Amino acid sequence: MDCDDGLLVTQPVMARPSNTAERRDQIVDGLLSVMATHGYEGASIVAIGKAAGLNPALVHYHFDSKEQVLLALVERLTTAVRARYDGRGLDSFIDAHLSLGPGADARAVAAWNVIGAEALRQPAVRTLYRRALATTLHEMRRLVTGQLKAQGRSTRNAGAIAAALVAAIEGSFRVAASAPRLLPRGFAAPMVKRMAAHLIRSEP
């Protein structure tokens, strides 16, 4: 407090910045780590808290349920893919989803596979999963159409080509998560890009 002309003037007290966003991000990262190794069913609140380095009570404080943490993780993973895509074309878009280069998180592949399975059982997860796939398919179709036009080819099958490429991406996630040592490391991005080039060249 300061004295001003005989009056007491109360200085505003600066509130401490909220750490809610930081804590929520830690919790989501905890779920990502647990799901990558133990699946969704193995991701108890206690396990999530331990992986996040937080008391499990804080998980309950920041999220109403484990499902709410999962929904936040779906949003994070889709946002991360968009951040990796530099907008330079079809190959770049495929790399954003499958490349093992800078920004890639190996945990995300396993977690996305689990999310796909949970989408079959949980309506809320299914809604976000479908929305993410729809966004990916829309952008893939736009990029494929652009490539076809640039080469003077028919765009009639652009939707089917885009669907095949998105299916290849999702299939790569499934195989990589279920049998990580069966396939060559880093095969997915180069092969899907070659597939895209071949499909586009095959159009009249």
DSSP 80-116: HHHHH--SS-HHHHHHHHH--STT--HHHHHHHHHHH
Of 79, 57, 68, the residue nearest 28 (C-alpha): 68
Give tens-digit pLDDT for 76-105. 988 888 888 877 899 999 988 887 666 677
- Domain-located, residue 1: no
- Domain-located, residue 103: yes
Q: Which pairs count as long-range contacts for 170-177, CB under 8 Å and 24+ apart, including other chains?
A: 170/116, 170/133, 172/98, 173/109, 173/112, 173/113, 173/116, 174/113, 174/116, 176/109, 176/110, 176/113, 177/109, 177/110, 177/112, 177/113, 177/114
- Domain-located, residue 6: no
Distance CA 172, CA 96 (A): 14
Lowest mean pLDDT segment, chosen from 7-11, 27-31, 83-87, 185-189: 7-11
- Domain-located, residue 63: yes
- Domain-located, residue 5: no
> Would strands 2-4 and 7-9 be described as parallel, antiparallel, or unpaired?
antiparallel
- Domain-located, residue 115: yes
Structural domain count of the chain: 1
Q: What CATH number corresponds to the domain at position 131? A: 1.10.357.10
- Domain-located, residue 57: yes
Tell me: pLDDT of 6 over 70. Answer: no
Res. 47 pLDDT band, cuts 50 70 90: very high
Neighbours of 165 (CB within 10 A): 26
Which residue has better confidence, 133 or 16? 133
pLDDT value at position 146? 96
pLDDT value at position 89? 92
Domain span at 49: 17-201
Cα-Cα-Cα-Cα dihedral sign, residues 33, 192, 120, 69: positive
Give tens-digit pLDDT for 154-204. 999 999 999 999 999 998 877 776 666 777 777 888 999 999 999 999 999
- Domain-located, residue 9: no
Distance CA 47, CA 64 (A): 16
Give tens-digit pLDDT for 113-164. 888 888 888 888 888 889 889 999 999 999 999 999 999 999 999 999 999 9
Tell me: pLDDT of 64 over 50. Answer: yes
Distance CA 191, CA 195 (A): 6
Q: What is the pTM of this model?
A: 0.77
